[in-house]
């Protein structure tokens, strides 16, 4: 079961799913994942 969990305030959401469901979740991703923005320290 995939759930949304609130982090910080109501505008900040993340996915949470049990580790045993990761393979099934990944099977539903089509195409490439594109990074459009990064936050954090510069590398």
In sequence order, what are the beta bridge partners of 4?
15
Confidence of residue 39 (pLDDT cuts 50, 70, 90): confident
Confidence of residue 34 (pLDDT cuts 50, 70, 90): very high
Residue 17 vs residues 20, 37, 40: alpha-carbon distances, Å = 8, 23, 24
Percentage of the chain lying above the pLDDT 70 cut: 74
Structure tokens at 9: 């305030």
> Has residue 4 got a pLDDT over 70?
no
Confidence of residue 43 (pLDDT cuts 50, 70, 90): low
CB 2 within 8 A of CB 16: yes
Q: How far apart are CA 34 and CA 16, in angstroms?
A: 20
Residue ranges covered by each domain of the chain: 1-27
């Amino acid at each position: 079961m995939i759930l949304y969990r609130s982090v910080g305030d109501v505008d900040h959401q993340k996915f949470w799913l049990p580790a045993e469901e990761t393979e099934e979740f990944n099977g539903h991703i089509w195409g490439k994942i594109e990074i459009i923005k990064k936050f954090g320290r510069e590398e």
